[in-house]
Amino acid sequence: MAIIEYQVQGKVAVVTMNNAENKQNPEFARQMLAALDQAEADKSVKAMVITSSDEKNWSQGVDLGFLNAALKEQRHDDIKAFMYGMNEVFSRLLLAPFPVIAAINGHAFGNGAMLACACDFRFMRSDRGYFCFPEVDISIPFLPGMIAFVKTAVPYYRFNEMKLTGRRVGAPELQDDHIIELACVDAEDTFAKAMEFAGTFNKARGIFGEHKRRLHKHILEVMEAEDKPLIESLQLMA
């Protein structure tokens, strides 16, 4: 089974992460970009929903097994390629010419939470699963571009608190802060509500994409100007 499954239901592209904890590594980035290629090439697609087949996890973020092994073995080019690959995933989501909706049916930690923040809208189950930025506890700093796009999804006061404490937050609190559109009953309800919402969109892709390009222009500039030198120097861990 592919770690990223792509299918189209009506006018909605459904991207399903299939690797249990859905940890992000070079292959994850490659397959996510391939799914985005398919959706952008299919002009009938009017929205995208990203979900997970795991009953517990949406995405646990960076594959630390890959990262630590690559650091130990000094495979610096592999690490840089991965970082650039995930930045491309984030930027492609930010610029996709259709709404991208995260159906968060389990834990979204670290880069998993950031993946959700790069989407335009978020739905999350209430009965289990947390949203968390644990980087402060595992000595990995945010790249400037990450900070820039997460602030479009999370109110600054809450992002500041979550980023500096690493506290786990559930769906009801996320709904109160308007980080998610809706706290749903369970995983099935989360996917159903996300698909229902996706089905309300029938926007012209040209104008939709232009809105997103103008909204997020500063984020892409930060990624290019500030992320690139940090990635090249591998200033990834304190």
The string of pLDDT tens digits covering residues 153-205 is 999 999 999 999 999 999 999 999 999 999 999 999 999 999 999 999 999 99
Residue 67 binned pLDDT confidence (cut-offs 50, 70, 90) = very high
Q: Please indicate whether residue 236 or residue 159 has the higher confidence score (pLDDT).
A: 159
| Mean pLDDT to the nearest integer, 46-58 | 97
Q: Is the pLDDT of residue 79 over 80?
A: yes
Name the token pair of 190.
């989360």
When pLDDT is cut at 50, 70 and 90, the band that residue 139 belongs to is confident
Question: Is pLDDT at 238 greater than 60 in this prediction?
Answer: no
Q: What count of other Cβ atoms lies within 10 Å of the Cβ of residue 106?
A: 25
> What is the overall mean pLDDT for the chain?
96
Q: What is the DSSP letter of 62?
A: B
pLDDT of residue 218: 97
Confidence tier at 131 by pLDDT (50, 70, 90): very high
- Backbone Cα Rg of the chain: 17
Model pLDDT, residue 117: 98
Report the pLDDT value the prediction gives residue 234, as an integer from 0 to 100: 84
User: Is residue 129 scored above 70 in pLDDT?
Assistant: yes
| CATH number 3.90.226.10 given to 4-198 | yes
Is residue 237 scored above 60 in pLDDT? Answer: no
Please tell me the distance from the alpha carbon of residue 101 to that of residue 116, in angstroms, as a whole number: 8
The Cα 201–Cα 174 span in angstroms is 23
